[in-house]
Amino acid sequence: MEEKKARAFDQLLAIMDILRSEGGCPWDREQTRQSLKPYLIEEAYEVFEAIDQGDPEKIKEELGDLLFQVVFHARISQELGEFNMEDILQTILQKMIRRHAHVFGQQKAASSQEALARWEAIKRGEEKNSTRRSILDGVPLQLPALFQAHRLQEKASLVGFDWEDLPPVIEKVEEEWRELRQAYSQGDRSEMERELGDLLFSMVNLARFLKLSAEDALRKANRRFTQRFHYLEQRLKEDGKDWKETSLAEMDALWGEAKEKEKAESS
């Protein structure tokens, strides 16, 4: 089995070599790190979508597409004389063993929270991270805002900057909601934006305490909205009506139908 996996990986690397060669694919040969950035992000989100759909075959396919992006970047780096796939694998192997000292070393971790804290402590002690001034450094600015907020809160919690239980988190959400309403009543758009941001940040914190992902929750809500809206469009088409001929009350009734249909299909 191990030999079979190694052969398959070698075949994938060989395919990339052919694609980037003189007689290979013109499109693949033109690609650079910069041109591939959108595809790397796209493939990662397609993995997210496949996981949400719970389809093992789709997950397998999308993970393969994401892996191919890694192989693509490794090949470009090899051509530039920087590093190759073996270097990438050795780097991640060493990092995983080093940062899991509670598994491969003498340290112990009784919980996932303690394991994460030890990981972060080892990470901060690494030479490449020695110039970091804050516990929050290392959270990519390019992350989706909800996910970024979650990671910032998670990192701060490792040093004890966190609520102890759920009730004050809920109270904070309610406080931020009141402050947003007040800013709205005053007509101050700058303050409204500020308070809306604080409300969203507190909602992410609530999701974290509930052990949920705000990013996933919103993405799934977006999907539900899309499906229900498509139902509205289909029903109007079946009735030979357009939006101008349909009242908001009628739309709301159809929206309710869509929700009931959704519940019936999921039960």
Walk me through the domains of the chain, giving residue ranges and CATH numbers. Answer: 2-96 (1.10.287.1080), 105-129 (no CATH), 145-212 (1.10.287.1080), 215-266 (no CATH)
The residue-averaged pLDDT of 175-200 equals: 97
Q: What is the pLDDT of residues 215-243, one digit of tens each?
A: 989 989 999 999 999 999 999 999 999 99
For residue 120, the model assigns a pLDDT of 84
Q: With a cut of 90, say whether residue 113 has pLDDT above it.
A: no
Helices 112-125 and 85-99, axial angle in degrees (round to 10): 120
Nearest to 147 by CA among 197, 208, 196: 208
Average pLDDT of the chain to the nearest whole number: 93
Instruction: Give the pLDDT band (50/70/90) at residue 124.
Output: confident
The residue-averaged pLDDT of 90-115 equals: 93
For residue 58, the model assigns a pLDDT of 97
Q: What is the pLDDT of residues 46-79, one digit of tens each?
A: 998 899 889 999 999 999 999 999 999 999 999 9
The residue-averaged pLDDT of 155-163 equals: 90
Instruction: Give the pLDDT band (50/70/90) at residue 266.
Output: confident
Q: Residue holding tokens 């604080």? A: 198
Rounded Cα–Cα distance for residues 107 and 103 (Å): 7
Q: What is the pLDDT of residues 8-28, one digit of tens each?
A: 999 999 999 999 999 999 999
- Sequence-distant (≥ 6) Cβ neighbours of residue 144 within 8 angstroms: 215
Q: Please say whether the dihedral angle defined by the alpha carbons of residues 153, 157, 163 and 167, taken in this order, is positive or negative.
A: positive
Instruction: Give the pLDDT band (50/70/90) at residue 158.
Output: confident
pTM over 0.75? The answer is no
Q: With a cut of 90, say whether residue 148 has pLDDT above it.
A: yes
Q: With a cut of 90, say whether residue 131 has pLDDT above it.
A: no
* C-beta separation of 124 from 133 below 8 A: no
